Structure 1
Amino acid sequence: MTTESDITPTAADRHHPLLKLALELGPLLIFFFANLRGQWLVERFPALSELGGPLFVATGLFMAATVTSLIVSKIVLGHLPIMPFVSGIVVVIFGSLSIWLQNDTFIKMKPTIVNALFGVALLGGLAFGRSLLGYVFNAAFQLDAEGWRKLTIRWGIFFLFLAVLNEVVWRNFSDDTWVAFKVWGTMPITIIFTLAQMPLVLKHSLNPETDGEK
């Protein structure tokens, strides 16, 4: 099994942008719906009651949806983007522990672990003179060295911010609030942050054709 490590998108990525979005958002939406309608799902599919309460039912379906999305990504896109792949591994491990021990702490800490992992990896990579951001995001753009360095620092700090934010939310608010935040809070925050980086991206973007002529 291989993961995509090139900083440029593959032909399949360019041809299926909506599929990529669906594969990333689909499991989260299933998680939100299953937590919201957990009892309704158990009434119609009694076997789900073996998983536990609504949050555990949502966790089980979230795990299944995540694995399915990775399989579809591998078949259709021909590779496993590294960030969803690593996140998927953590989902399966922590989700399984949550259901097995009937302790939702594990699944609640999953975003903390994943975001902290990427944040430390990005900032740590810079300490060794390497910008790993392109490998994480399979970026659709090419930047000069200074652009990658600055963008990596920003994303590294942002990932650590998301890790801390997740800890604050799940430790101080209800399960429903945390699930809603995970789906409807984290994504808008990430989109806004991404858009805010566009001036930097445009300033440091490279033109492959022009560079090839030099």
Structure 2
Amino acid sequence: MSDENKTLETTEDGQQFDRKQLIKLVVEFGPLLVFFFANSHYGIYTGTGAFMVATVVSLIASQLLLGRIAVMPLITSVFVLVFGGLTLWLQDDHFIKIKPTIVNGLFATILFTGLATGRLFLKIVFGDVMRLSEEGWRILTLRWALFFVFLALLNEVMWRGFSTDTWVAFKVFGIMPITFVFALSQIGLLKKYEVSTSERG
């Protein structure tokens, strides 16, 4: 294969990767933006309804554009529909507000249970993407479990201590940057415990 063809192939792979990452960002962040703007203009109940519709649309878009629906967004979407439905049915916004607490608490519980029983669920889900030693997977799992606990507690502080509009704004524009910074902070761990293909074989 000529150098020109290799360069073209590399460029196409990079463009494909960037396109998929952009689609994933839009699919995951889009419903939150819809929630924010609908809440800002029409209130929490209309915002919740719009959030539910946008969530379903994002799942369909993920399947059509990416060919799959990731596990965590799927679980989160189910909770959005259940707790959003309860919010609208009972006209009580406490349900949509405690949803992040329950979802993050569930993720933390799953990861802690996996650690206790010797099942590293992060490895099961991301083992094809990241290659780490067993110790690396255990440390990474523990850190993410603790981070989910932190997010659950943070949500409790925000919805109990601040106005609904402030909670919605923080949910939309605060949680993702915090999660992104946390994920970046794990790069050192990933490099330290990375296992090469030859070592795995």
What interval of TM-score do these two structures reach, taking the shorter chain for normalisation? 0.7 to 0.9
1:168 positional shift: 1.0
For 1:65-91, what per-residue CA distance to the aligned partner results, in whole angstroms no more than 9, with x for missing partners? 111111111222222100000000000
Over 3 Å counting, the alpha-carbon distance change for 1:201 and 1:169 in structure 2 is same
- The within-5 A match list for 1:76-155 is 76-135=65-124, 140-155=129-144
Q: Distance in 2 between matches of 1:140 and 1:104?
A: 38
Q: Distance in 2 between matches of 1:139 and 1:24?
A: 22
Q: Distance in 2 between matches of 1:104 and 1:139?
A: 40
Q: Distance in 2 between matches of 1:132 and 1:158?
A: 15
1:103 positional shift: 0.2
Match of 2:12 in 1: none
Alignment of 1:27 onto 2:16: no
Q: Which has the higher contact order (CA 8 A, sep 6+)?
A: 1
Q: Provide structure 2 residue ranges, at least 5 long, that are not aligned to the other structure.
A: 1-15
Q: Distance in 2 between matches of 1:118 and 1:190?
A: 14
Alignment of 1:175 onto 2:179: no
Match of 1:36 among 34, 37, 40: 40
CA contact (8 A) 1:81 1:137 kept: no
Q: Distance in 1 between matches of 2:99 and 2:57?
A: 19
1:138 positional shift: 7.7
Q: Distance in 2 between matches of 1:81 and 1:117?
A: 17
For 1:94-121, what per-residue CA distance to the aligned partner results, in whole angstroms no more than 9, with x for missing partners? 0000001100000001100100000010
State the one-letter code of the partner of 2:141. Answer: T
1:170 positional shift: 0.2
Point out 4+ residue stretches in structure 1 off by more than 4 angstroms. Answer: 135-139
Match of 2:190 in 1: 201
1:206 positional shift: 2.2
Over 3 Å counting, the alpha-carbon distance change for 1:135 and 1:36 in structure 2 is farther
Over 3 Å counting, the alpha-carbon distance change for 1:117 and 1:55 in structure 2 is same
Q: Distance in 2 between matches of 1:164 and 1:138?
A: 29
Which structure features the higher share of helix residues?
A: 2
CA contact (8 A) 1:83 1:136 kept: no
Q: Distance in 2 between matches of 1:29 and 1:137?
A: 27
- The within-5 A match list for 1:55-74 is 55-74=44-63
Instruction: Report SS of the residue matched to 1:80.
Output: coil
CA contact (8 A) 1:82 1:135 kept: no
1:36 positional shift: 1.3
- Paired residues, number: 185
1:31 positional shift: 0.7
1:133 positional shift: 1.6
State the one-letter code of the partner of 1:74. Answer: Q
Instruction: Report SS of the residue matched to 1:37.
Output: helix
Over 3 Å counting, the alpha-carbon distance change for 1:137 and 1:118 in structure 2 is farther
Match of 2:3 in 1: none
Provide the TM-score with structure 2 as the length reference.
0.87
